[in-house]
């Protein structure tokens, strides 16, 4: 397996430093993965305690090995990130100083062939981030009606040829249910016009993204998780989110904008107590990786980073 390189690590350390430096603090890594960001944050802040969440049991096992040197400063939870309030309650933690989200499929999940996330290698059509629960991609392909398949491919994959691919899937599964990725990749390739196949990356990329999002409920989970994380932040606490596709980034942008907006009715000359902004944006739009980082770590090519700080609300 290739060496795991955390995306935008230096920038993340810089953004969290004001909330964590020089004092006891608690940070939630809501998608700990292989523990690269977590390891660096724990090393940079000797008084930091970290709560590590991941829905993938294999990721938790590997990150536990990596972070073992930090001892009891790390607590692990097998949980999806929208379960953050329950995890904190179970640990008797009322508020935190930082929350980190590194969204999307991890390098480990792509590298584990039998998980079926990659269209580049033949594998069972699983795509579950937590392989212990929930429907597989094969079940989606073999049971969803054509209208639902079109919706998923269009909404989650932004696939222009969603109707054509969905109808081909339904026709093909009548002959034989889908089980492995190679057959699906060939079907997609044959369904997309030749001129399109020559540009815009692999023609299966958008369909595989759409299936993965559906199988794992990623966008619905994210819509619940970001507000839950913001509620958990203490004033002065910071949140950093790394997204890797526009659908995720749009959700984060909208929630941040809502929390950073005054809730005082327009036209009033003063801010009503308890109605001011709850968040201060720390990034101008979404920050991207520079070419040097992309050359060092190709996964950074699609990253969009947003960060914000919880602000004190005046009492009503």
Is 36 annotated as belonging to a binding site?
A: yes
Is 22 annotated as belonging to a binding site?
A: no
In whole angstroms, give the CA distance from residue 75 to residue 60. Answer: 11
Is 54 annotated as belonging to a binding site?
A: yes
Is 82 annotated as belonging to a binding site?
A: no
| Structural contact between residues 222 and 244, judged by C-beta atoms closer than 8 angstroms | no
Size of the chain, expressed as the number of residues it contains: 316
Number of Cβ within a 10 Å radius of residue 284: 7
Is 119 annotated as belonging to a binding site?
A: no
| Structural contact between residues 74 and 67, judged by C-beta atoms closer than 8 angstroms | yes
Annotated binding site: 35-37, 54, 81, 102, 109
Annotated binding site for S-adenosyl-L-methionine: 35-37, 54, 81, 102, 109
């Amino acid at each position: 397996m290739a060496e795991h390189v955390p995306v935008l690590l230096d920038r993340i350390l810089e953004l969290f430093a004001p909330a964590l430096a020089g004092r006891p603090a608690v940070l939630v890594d809501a998608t700990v993965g292989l523990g690269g960001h977590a390891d660096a944050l724990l090393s940079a802040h000797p008084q930091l305690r970290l709560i590590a969440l991941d829905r993938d049991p294999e990721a938790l096992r590997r990150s536990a090995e990596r972070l073992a040197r930090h001892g009891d400063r790390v607590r692990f939870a097998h949980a999806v990130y929208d379960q953050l309030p329950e995890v904190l309650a179970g640990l008797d933690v009322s508020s935190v100083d930082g929350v980190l989200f590194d969204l999307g499929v991890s390098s480990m999940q792509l590298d584990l062939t039998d998980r079926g996330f990659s269209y580049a290698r033949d594998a069972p059509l699983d795509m579950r981030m937590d392989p212990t629960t929930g429907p597989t991609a094969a079940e989606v392909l073999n049971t969803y009606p054509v209208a639902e398949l079109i919706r998923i491919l269009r909404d989650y994959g932004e696939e222009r040829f969603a109707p054509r691919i969905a109808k081909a899937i339904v026709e093909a599964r009548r002959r034989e249910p889908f089980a492995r990725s190679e057959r699906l990749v060939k079907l997609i390739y044959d369904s997309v016009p030749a001129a399109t196949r020559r540009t815009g990356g692999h023609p299966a990329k958008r369909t595989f993204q759409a299936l993965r999002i559906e199988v794992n409920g990623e966008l619905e989970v994210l819509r619940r998780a970001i507000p839950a994380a913001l509620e958990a932040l203490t004033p002065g606490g910071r949140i950093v989110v790394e997204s890797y596709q526009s659908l995720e980034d749009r959700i984060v942008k909208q929630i941040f904008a809502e929390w950073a907006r005054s809730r005082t009715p327009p036209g009033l000359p003063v801010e009503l107590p308890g109605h001011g902004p709850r968040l201060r944006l720390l990034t101008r739009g979404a920050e991207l990786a520079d070419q040097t980082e992309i050359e060092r770590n190709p996964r950074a090519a699609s990253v969009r980073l947003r960060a914000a700080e919880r602000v004190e609300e005046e009492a009503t």
